[in-house]
Copies of this chain bind each other. A is one copy, B any other.
Amino acid sequence: MTMQTTTTPQAPVAPAHGRLRPLGLHEVRITGGFWGDRQKVNGTATLEHIQSRLESEGWLGNFDRAADGTLPEGRRGREFSDSEVYKFLEGLAWEIGRTDDPALEARFRAVVARVTAAQEPDGYLNTRFGRPGQGARWSDLEWGHELYCLGHLFQAAVARVRTRPGADDGLLGIAVRAADLVCDEFGADGRDGICGHAEVEVGLAELSRATGDPRYLEQARLFVERHGRGTLRDIEWGRTYFQDDVPVREATSLRGHAVRANYFAAGAADVAVDTGDDDLLAALRRQWEHTVARRTYVTGGQGSHHQDEAFGEDWELPADRAYSETCAGVGSIMFAWRLLLAGGDPRQADLIERTLYNVVATSPAPDGRAFFYANTLHQRVPGVPADPAETSPRASSSLRAPWFEVSCCPPNVARTLASLDAYVATADDEGVQLHQYAPVSVRTTLADGRVIAFDVETDYPASGSIRVISRGDAASGAPWTLTLRVPAWAAGARLRVTPADGSPSDDREAAPGTAELRRQWRAGDVVELALPMTPRLTAADARIDAVRGCVVVERGPEVLALESVDVGVDADVADLALAPGATPVERDGRVWIDVVDRGGDGAGWPYVRAGEAPAEAASRSVPLVTYHEWAQRGPSTMRVWIPATT
């Protein structure tokens, strides 16, 4: 494994300013464990699966048809299908950066060649618009997704240039030509438009960072500021759907379509940071805080409506109709990560961890070839397995499906997993911050030029034991600060430093937030962080009506669930409630909880005089499943929130 140290991190996000500097793939490498296993499946099975589907669905073929002039006849897929190809390319680029796999490199170049051939001479690139028989360019900004697709193209090109600077595949050139066209068309003197699905903003901002061209950042800024002014036509669900209802500085919460809302906020954060716009950044922080406090599921998932894939009102978080789209989880990580880099607030890393374990890890099947698009917190009827040969028309599938008519989630998961190393740690002038816990090797250069290195050894979250072993490359021996995140749920965490020189170890409690260890690190110094992994019962704010009187069992960063296959063949989780006074216990590698049956025949008018006590029932112990592992044993019913009062 070769690691470079450059000033531009091999990472999806590289702000011009900010409290923390992200460490890229050349500086942090996940070496195994929970996420390493998933990256392996992603790099082999998932990326191949996605390409196979992009071919069989004809979404890659659309580019060939654009090149040979046979569009619009035979164009296949929805208006945003180009973007799946770009997300796939982005995932490939990160994976090539991680693995140097020549087969992936060849595959990448072959796909880029097909995309290249489809670009118009003036830089325009989209297989759905602009040709005779198609809608005119930019004629349907509300639903056409042209700029959205280009945003993903830009992110793919940035991934490539950051992992293979100077590569001659041509992807960066495609992106630059398209971006120039966008600036010509939508600049300050141009068309006063925005895209109905935010994404081009993050793409342009990052392309500006990667190329040094300030024009792209300015264009991103224009797009951000044009939101909320009725720039788009009204639609059935209102302009809230695409964040065109309220100017970004005046909004108090994320709202509307949950993926759009997070992508937009992430793009606005990029603009705020790189233009030094503290007011805008403060507005975004307030929106994030409000959204986390009132519009986020315990899994970290976001989006309460199936109808418009949107946030609900404050406190509207139904478990059974949770939409919690996988892509909204990815978008939430994008937004939170940018705020974390800008300000260093560990609560953003907390949310990222929660979302990674309970949304991103939930979507793919163990074989990496089927996915959840929506992530319900309560499955009332056993799902019907998807036909692997079919494309599921329904995003709200109750079992993982290999592909969807709208298939944004699989490549979004793939690009996230392939770049996950870049979300583990950051650096500042004082040292390095560890935000996520996984087995990693870290080697980076501090601002003063010192190269420092350490490894993390852990089987987290199986246990809460995290060992950081200094590799002592700081020749000068001058002190630097290692900052460890102590998750908000980890009250009672302990931290012990054992110097390599045999001097006494220092053992102390580490309060939730961050623990800073400033010392002259030497090779072999060991830091042990012990996070308490005792399963715990968690309740919701009383205003979250949907789960009133319920508890959820959590263990470390993982949310657990009650699944019918663990209860009995024909059991329905609707008939179970927490036994009075029950607490979760670990036994035989699983977490168990005592429940009581509280069924009844469920016949007759279900609204009865209040105050009638339920019949007493015998309790029994049932095992729970981690939420991200549910629905892997066939059709089942499942609930995350367990009734505690009946």
Footprint of B on A, CB under 8 Å?
A: 234, 236-238, 289-290, 292-294, 296, 298, 305-307, 312-316, 318-321, 347, 350, 378, 380-381, 393-394, 488, 536-552, 574-575, 577, 598, 600, 602-612, 614, 641, 643-646
Residue in contact with A539 in the complex, picked from B314, B378, B543, B610, CB distance below 8 Å: B610
Chain B min CB distance to A60 (Å): 25
**Assuming the A-B contacts A313-B320, A320-B313, are A606 and B307 also in contact, with contact meaning beta carbons closer than 8 angstroms in the complex?**
no
A611 to B536, CA, bound (A): 11
A547 to B320, CA, bound (A): 13
Sample of 12 further A-B pairs with CB below 8 A, known A290-B603, A292-B604, A537-B610: A236-B393, A293-B602, A305-B321, A316-B321, A318-B318, A350-B605, A537-B609, A541-B602, A542-B643, A543-B602, A545-B550, A548-B643
> Across the interface, which residues of B come within 8 angstroms of A602, CB to CB?
293-294, 314, 541, 543
> Across the interface, which residues of B come within 8 angstroms of A350, CB to CB?
605
**Assuming the A-B contacts A298-B607, A538-B610, A609-B538, are A543 and B575 also in contact, with contact meaning beta carbons closer than 8 angstroms in the complex?**
yes
> Across the interface, which residues of B come within 8 angstroms of A598, CB to CB?
542
Residue in contact with A545 in the complex, picked from B298, B604, B614, B643, CB distance below 8 Å: B643
Residue in contact with A305 in the complex, picked from B306, B381, B646, CB distance below 8 Å: B306
Residue of B with least CB distance to A536: B609
Residue of B with least CB distance to A317: B606
Residue of B with least CB distance to A614: B542
Residue of B with least CB distance to A320: B316
> Across the interface, which residues of B come within 8 angstroms of A608, CB to CB?
538-539, 541
Sorted nearest first, the 10 A-B pairs with minimum C-beta distance are A541-B606, A549-B549, A537-B610, A539-B610, A307-B307, A313-B380, A542-B646, A548-B549, A306-B307, A551-B610
> Across the interface, which residues of B come within 8 angstroms of A289, CB to CB?
603-604
**Assuming the A-B contacts A236-B394, A293-B606, A320-B313, are A378 and B545 also in contact, with contact meaning beta carbons closer than 8 angstroms in the complex?**
yes
> Across the interface, which residues of B come within 8 angstroms of A539, CB to CB?
607-612
Most chain B CB neighbours (cut-off 10 Å) among A236, A237, A609 = A609
A289 to B600, CA, bound (A): 15
Residue in contact with A314 in the complex, picked from B312, B380, B644, CB distance below 8 Å: B380
Question: What would be 18 A-B contacts, judged by CB atoms less than 8 Å apart?
Answer: A236-B393, A289-B604, A293-B602, A293-B605, A305-B306, A313-B381, A318-B318, A318-B320, A320-B545, A536-B610, A537-B609, A537-B611, A538-B610, A539-B607, A542-B598, A543-B602, A543-B606, A548-B548
Residue of B with least CB distance to A551: B610
The answer to whether A542 touches B577 (Cβ under 8 A) is yes
Chain B min CB distance to A232 (Å): 15
Residue of B with least CB distance to A307: B307
The answer to whether B318 touches A607 (Cβ under 8 A) is no
Residue of B with least CB distance to A381: B313
A294 to B599, CA, bound (A): 13
A533 to B175, CA, bound (A): 72
**Assuming the A-B contacts A236-B393, A538-B610, are A603 and B545 also in contact, with contact meaning beta carbons closer than 8 angstroms in the complex?**
no
> Across the interface, which residues of B come within 8 angstroms of A306, CB to CB?
305-307
> Across the interface, which residues of B come within 8 angstroms of A378, CB to CB?
545
A79 to B402, CA, bound (A): 36
Chain B min CB distance to A596 (Å): 11
> Across the interface, which residues of B come within 8 angstroms of A645, CB to CB?
548-549, 645
Residue of B with least CB distance to A604: B293
> Across the interface, which residues of B come within 8 angstroms of A538, CB to CB?
607-610
Most chain B CB neighbours (cut-off 10 Å) among A313, A537, A545, A614 = A545
**Assuming the A-B contacts A551-B610, A607-B538, are A545 and B319 also in contact, with contact meaning beta carbons closer than 8 angstroms in the complex?**
yes
Residue of B with least CB distance to A237: B394
Residue of B with least CB distance to A537: B610
Residue of B with least CB distance to A294: B602
The answer to whether B380 touches A605 (Cβ under 8 A) is no
